[in-house]
Amino acid sequence: MNEVTILDKTFTIMIPRKKIETRILEIARDLNSEYKDKNPVFIGVLNGAFLFMADLFRNIETPCEISFIRVSSYSGTESTGQMKNVVGLSGNINNRHVIIVEDIVDTGETVSYLMQEISRHQPASVKLATLLFKPQALKIPVTVDYAGFEIPPAFVVGYGLDYDGYGRNLQDIYVLKS
Ligand code: IMP
């Protein structure tokens, strides 16, 4: 499919599933060497990161744990700028190597807030793996340790990312038609 319509908007294909698959394997390979025998904890940010996490995690070959949290700052196609609490950050991450797994870094607000919250638990280290990164949209400086793809500051859907709740099931990533 080159184009999809979701609710009132039309999107065109941007990153096909094969490219996503290949890139995730590359990131997994990097993580496997960096975290070998470090017993890392992967913390996925729901809902958007669930597919990226699944495909990344199944390719991790060192002993590791997985957990999910939720934090929401988006409504429609624009950030609301309102930060909510992190839900589900339990488990003991004290002295553990944490990898935050995000779907996308846009303004950077979510990730920078998450970094603060996670750091309070005094982990051994915290790094960020995001499938997509919009460097030109950043409002808060954040360090992106592993990025699948750098994309322009346009609205995208698919492979876990939604437009008002829909489109997460698309296997490719699509961008809003201007
Ligand atoms: P940030 O806090 O502005 O970096 O936004 C992070 C969150 O906003 C992501 O985890 C997504 O849930 C959502 N988001 C940002 N850009 C997009 C997009 O292009 N499509 C769908 N969701 C997005």
Provide the residue range defining the domain that includes 22. 3-176
Is pTM, for the whole model, over 0.75? yes
Q: Are 158 and 129 in contact (CB under 8 A)?
A: no
Which among 161, 164, 157 is positioned nearest to 4, based on CA atoms?
Answer: 157
Is 74 a pocket residue for ligand 1 (Cβ < 6 Å)? yes
Distance 36 CA to ligand 1 centre (A): 30
**How far is Cα 60 from Cα 164, in angstroms, rounded to an integer?**
31
Q: Are 71 and 45 in contact (CB under 8 A)?
A: yes
Q: What is the pLDDT of residue 90?
A: 74
Residue 109 CA, closest ligand 1 atom number: 2
Residue that is written with structure tokens 């500051």 in the block: 153
- Which positions are catalytic? 106
b/e 45-83 (16+ beta carbons within 10 angstroms → b)? bbbbbbbbbebbbeebeeebebebbebbebeeeeeeeee
Is 160 a pocket residue for ligand 1 (Cβ < 6 Å)? no
CATH of the domain at 53: 3.40.50.2020
167 contact partners, CB below 8 Å, separation of at least 6: 4, 6, 11, 157, 158, 161, 174
pLDDT tens digits, one per residue of 83-105: 568 888 876 899 999 999 999 99
* Pair type for strands 65-70 and 3-6: unpaired
Domain tally, the chain: 1
* Pair type for strands 41-46 and 97-105: parallel
Is 79 a pocket residue for ligand 1 (Cβ < 6 Å)? yes
Q: What is the pLDDT of residue 79?
A: 56
pLDDT at 168 over 60: yes
Distance 108 CA to ligand 1 centre (A): 9
Q: What is the pLDDT of residue 1?
A: 83
